[in-house]
Amino acid sequence: MIGKLNHVAIAVPDLEAACITYRDALGASLSQRQELPEHGVTVVFIDLGNTKVELLEPLGENSPIAQFLERNPTGGMHHICYEVPDIRSARDRLLAEGARVLGDGEPKIGAHGKPVLFLHPKDFCGTLVELEEV
Amino acid sequence: MIGKLNHVAIAVPDLEAACITYRDALGASLSQRQELPEHGVTVVFIDLGNTKVELLEPLGENSPIAQFLERNPTGGMHHICYEVPDIRSARDRLLAEGARVLGDGEPKIGAHGKPVLFLHPKDFCGTLVELEEV
């Protein structure tokens, strides 16, 4: 069912500092900053050739990564995103397997303009999993 | 400097249960289990087409992931591995930038038979970074 690894998201308290680390120390290729107020984050993409890392900084009130950064003040890996060809059939299979889909179970439009769902970390080895339909 | 994302490692308390989750719920393609006593882990690789996830279970005394699992008993993303063309020149650049290389600074032979180094999470957005020469 799952296909490619679409991205790994790393939540950071200071996006500018994280960009300097990735650009200067690791020599990575970075995108421009993008504010995504509807997702409560500012994001920079790191293009790794085969996949990407997304650096996420909280934006506005009630950012979905604010609590994570309270628990992990220096930042950390926040979620991993796998591609699926059909997100509703993926969801139905997961529900049949007893996995928990976060929210109301209906796909939302994610940061890349594609339908996404998030799965409960306790059902997936302590890892928050995003599925993105591509 | 950094090239492709080689893998994301997820530490798990129960590798068999993790394999069932990834195979049955997520429909992933799994390798056979490999015991790597010199690295203190048993590993299963998940081939995602563009990169891989490594599921790691502690093996033997003093496993390098034992403490992580004490702090994260259901498991979690343990490290991210980026490929570099020349690990010693990568290390020298990182040291010049003020980053901390774990251990004695000399590359070791990693789980794939290639030279690897680990970088201090506090210097990299709270994320343990492995560099692998490919």
The band of A45, judged by pLDDT with boundaries at 50, 70 and 90, is very high
Nearest by CB: A27 against B1, B21, B28: B1
Where in chain B are the domains? Answer: 5-133
Q: Which two tokens stand for residue A12?
A: 């950071």
pLDDT interval class at A111 (50, 70, 90): confident
Which CATH architecture does the domain made up of A5-133 adopt? Roll (3.10)
CB B53 to CB A80 under 8 A?
A: yes
Residues 6+ apart with CB under 8 A from B62: B40
More confident site: A110 or B117: B117
- Check if the beta carbon of residue A78 is closer than 8 Å to that of residue A68: yes
**What is the C-alpha end-to-end distance of chain A, expressed in Å?**
12
Two structure tokens written together for A123: 């059902």
In DSSP notation, B47-114 reads E-SSSEEEEEEE-STT-TTHHHHHHSTT-EEEEEEEEES-HHHHHHHHHHTTPPBSTTSS-EE-TTSS
Q: Does A108 contact B at CB distance below 8 Å? A: no
pLDDT at position A42: 98
Q: What is the mean pLDDT of chain A?
A: 96
pLDDT > 90? residue B111:
no
DSSP string, chain A: ---SEEEEEEE-S-HHHHHHIIIIIS--EE---EEEGGGTEEEEEEE-SSSEEEEEEE-STT-TTHHHHHHSTT-EEEEEEEEES-HHHHHHHHHHTTPPBSTTSS-EE-TTSSEEEEE-GGGTTT--EEEEE-
CB contact under 8 A, A76 and B125: yes
Please tell me the predicted confidence (pLDDT) of residue B89: 96
Query: Average pLDDT, stretch A114-130?
Result: 97
Active site residues of B: 130
Q: Which of B8, B73, B126 sits opposite A74 (nearest CB)?
A: B126
Residue B50 to chain A, least CA–CA distance (Å)? 6
Pairing type for strands A5-11 and A52-58 reads parallel
ipTM: 0.96
Task: Name the catalytic one among A54, A83, A130, A132.
Answer: A130
Q: Which residues does chain A have within 8 Å of residue B72's beta carbon, measured at their own beta carbons?
A: 126
- Residue B114's pLDDT band, with cuts at 50, 70 and 90, is very high
Contact B125 A5 (CB under 8 A): no
Binning pLDDT at 50, 70 and 90, where does residue A126 land? very high
Confidence category of residue A82, pLDDT binned at 50, 70, 90: very high
* pLDDT number for residue B40: 96
pLDDT at B119: 98
Run of H or E residues at B8 = strand B5-11
Greatest alpha-carbon pair distance for chain B in Å reads: 46
Residues paired with A90 in a beta bridge: none
Chain B nearest C-alpha distance from A100 (Å)? 11
For tokens 């209906």, what's the residue?
A106
> pLDDT tens across B51-62, in order?
999 999 999 989
Over residues A37-44, mean pLDDT: 95
Q: How confident is the model at residue A8 (pLDDT cuts 50, 70, 90)?
A: very high
The per-residue pLDDT for B132 is: 98
Task: Report how far residue A57's alpha carbon sits from residue A44's, in angstroms, rounded to the nearest whole number.
Answer: 9
Sequence-ordered list of residues with C-beta below 8 angstroms from that of A25, at least 6 positions apart, any chain? B93, B94, B97, B98, B99, B123, B124
- Cα separation of A10 and A5, whole Å? 14
